[in-house]
Structure 1
Amino acid sequence: MTSPSKPLIIILMKRRPWPIIILAFIQILMPFFNILMNAWLENVSPDIYFRAFVHFQPPAKVATFFLLYLISGAAIFLMKKWSYAVFLLITSWNILSNIIIWVRDYYPSSHSLWTDHSFWILVLANLTNIAFVTYYLLPSVRKVYFDRTVRWWESKPRFLLKILANFQQNKNPQSIPCTICDLSMGGAFIETSQQLAMGDTITLSIPLYDRSIQIKSTVIHKREGNSSPEAKGYGLQFQRNPETDKKIKNLTACLRSFGFPLRWEPESTWESFVDWAKKIFSKQAWLPLDH
């Protein structure tokens, strides 16, 4: 039985979660926050501190200072399995380097640690990094990185259709009628009275103008059809190659130009942000898969 929360998950994951976008942006801006804090500690303007930093530090260190945060932000934003390890490694390195730099350059020798501004900035910076790590270790957030099925925004458009077509089974030249109910770059869903088994390979013939497109496909799931009691529904995965991809790309371009509806339409970026902002103080806003 389908969990009642599943439709909510599908809706919320039509776009990349806003907390991820915001935190990725914060990571990219971290070098500039660091410049502001260090300039304040040295009692100079941010412009003077930046010029001195670039002039006196080795080019490799300057590049690392900016690139590590840029890589971390990009990893968070892209939301791949490798992103997780990259983010954790860079954040761990930042925590360690903050401590080393503070001990080397700012450790107070003539006054109390508790009244030293640099110490509290170190604590704040490292607590911020630890908060980021803690957030990404939460199961609801981790799932988005490791379970591609919830990242609907990465899916190719799936068009809703009702097209009469036919297919041939392996070792059977007879054409068998079917109805294509939806189609995307990766596969299609068909209904037919013919019994098919999981893993069966068929050649689907899709009519297009005065000719048809043949695409080899594999049956990957099945369920009851909707058009008639005897109809069975089958999910097909196209067997991809450069030639097939070109055919399907042309076909989906035709479907788009003809105005065929999509299974789901993504929200505009602004509408999505406003909807998230309205729930910003709720658990759902920060843990979109935790219902």
Structure 2
Amino acid sequence: MLPIILGMKTKPWTLVILALLHILAPFGNMLVNALRSGRTLPQQWHYWFDVLPKYLLFVYIGLPILAGIFIYMCRRWSYWAYLGCIALIFVSNLYSYWTSMNWPTLIALVAVLVVDILIVAYFVVPSVQKIYFDPRMRWWEAAPRYNFNHEGTVNGQAAFIKNLSQGGMFMTSGPQLNEGDKVEVAWNYENQECKVSGLAVYKGPQGVGVRFDHSPETQKQTKLVISKLHQKGLIVVERLPGPEDSFVTWCKKLFTKGEGLFPKFRG
């Protein structure tokens, strides 16, 4: 059964913040290194770009930025790419300590290690992994859904299609279906006929969700219908991000109720 996302319409703010912190990390690295070496920021900039070997420059600047981009992309491959970046950063920090054993370097190494462990621990939480490994869980990438409320047929039997998107539909009546069943959907809307194959991906008390398996022709047909629905303003407003999905609201929930750190699913 496909899990249901609870109370979320945008990309999780935790992932956005973690991505941003990684992307901004080189500026923090530059400031810390400047303080430790007694240089000004312009002097540290000159040292990094004119004196440091290029591979170290990549470690200090390139890897954290790449790690942040990989976090933000939310893909199966980007998950493993992110862990690879973290591993390389840790190895480089370990090498720095090995070549310069002193208390400041050791403290910096331990601090980075603790932060890395906490971040990696976050990404092994099952609910976080779901959105990286299962494309269906990335709710913010879903195509806009429109109120359709139109009769059609599913596998040759009469069905009522409540809403429609470019990628699928939700029907509230029709033939008995189970998740994983293949379906053939057809409808005629304002003299625009459409026949498309699909797969039942969700079955609940209110109806069945179908994901379309488009051909180039059905992609075009569905797009024309979606265009008409959009012109009529029939978009399902409840599925759009609202004030409750803002960063400020997320912060309030996090600090007052302890909610929002991890995605929540039911089922």
* TM-score when normalising by structure 2: 0.83
1:244 to 218, 223, 226: 218
- Within a 5 Å distance, the mapping from 1:53-68 to structure 2 comes to 53-59=48-54, 61-68=56-63
2:16 to 21, 25, 28: 21
Structure showing greater relative contact order (alpha-carbon pairs closer than 8 Å, 6 or more residues apart) = 2
After superposition, the Cα gap between the structure-2 partners of 1:217 and 1:223, relative to the gap in structure 1 and judged at 3 Å, is same
AA aligned opposite 1:143: K
Q: 1:93 corresponds to which residue? A: 88
Q: Does 58-67 or 273-282 show the bigger shift?
A: 58-67
Partner of 2:7: 11
User: 1 CA distance for matches of 2:158 and 2:68?
Assistant: 50
| CA shift digits 1:205-264 (9 cap, x unpaired) | 3323xx2222222352686998xxxxxx65444331222222222221221110114163
Q: Is the 8 A contact 1:219 1:234 kept in 2?
A: no
Unaligned runs of 5+ in 1: 109-115, 170-175, 227-232
Query: What secondary structure sits across from 2:254 in the alignment?
Result: coil
Cα separation, partners in 2 of 1:101 and 1:160, compared to 1, 3 Å: same
Partner SS for 1:57 = coil
Residues in 2 aligned to 1:128 and 1:219: alpha-carbon distance in whole angstroms: 43
Counterpart pick for 2:77 among 76, 79, 82: 82
Amino-acid identity (%): 26
Return the offset for 1:17.
1.1
Question: Which residue of the partner structure matches residue 120 of structure 2?
Answer: 133
Q: How does 1:116-195 map to 2 (within 5 A)?
A: 116-165=103-152, 169=156, 177-190=158-171, 195=175
Instruction: Decide whether aligned partners of structure 1 residues 66 and 246 sit closer, same or farther in structure 2, where only a CA change above 3 A counts.
Output: farther
Contact 2:59–2:92 (CA<8 Å) still a contact in 1? no
- The CA deviation at 1:179 is 3.1
Structure 1 or 2, whichever has the larger Rg, is: 1
Q: CA deviation at 1:159?
A: 1.5
Pair 98,254 (structure 1): closer, same or farther in 2 beyond 3 Å: same
Instruction: Find the aligned partners of 1:81 and 1:236 in 2 and give their Cα distance.
Output: 24
Indicate which of 231, 234, 249 corresponds to 1:260.
Answer: 234
Distance 1:273 1:190, change over 3 A: same
Check conservation: 2:6, 2:264, Cα contact below 8 A.
no
Question: For 1:253 and 1:43, how far apart are their aligned partners in 2?
Answer: 62
- Three-state SS of the structure 2 residue aligned to 1:264 is helix
SS of 2:246's partner is: helix
CA contact 1:216–1:239 (8 Å) conserved in 2: yes
Cα 1:179–1:34 change in 2 (3 A) is same
The equivalent residue for 1:31 is 26
Could you tell me which residue of structure 1 aligns to residue 258 of structure 2? 283
Residue 103 of structure 1 aligns with an amino acid whose one-letter code is: W
Gap regions ≥5 residues in structure 2: none
Please say if residues 156 and 185 of structure 1, whose CA atoms lie closer than 8 Å, have aligned partners that are also in contact: yes
> How many angstroms apart in 2 are the aligned matches of 1:64 and 1:224?
49
1:29 offset after TM fit, Å? 1.1
Amino acid at match of 2:47: A
Normalised by the length of structure 1, the TM-score is 0.77
Shift of residue 52, structure 1, vs aligned partner? 1.6
CA–CA separation in structure 2 for the residues paired with 1:224 and 1:119: 55
- Deviation of residue 166 (structure 1)? 5.1
Cα shift at 1:28: 0.7
Matches of 1:224 and 1:200, distance apart in 2: 17
The answer to whether the Cα contact below 8 Å between 1:166 and 1:206 also exists between their aligned partners in 2 is no
Q: For the structure 1 residues 125 and 46, does the alpha-carbon distance in structure 2 shift closer, same or farther, using more than 3 Å as the test? A: farther
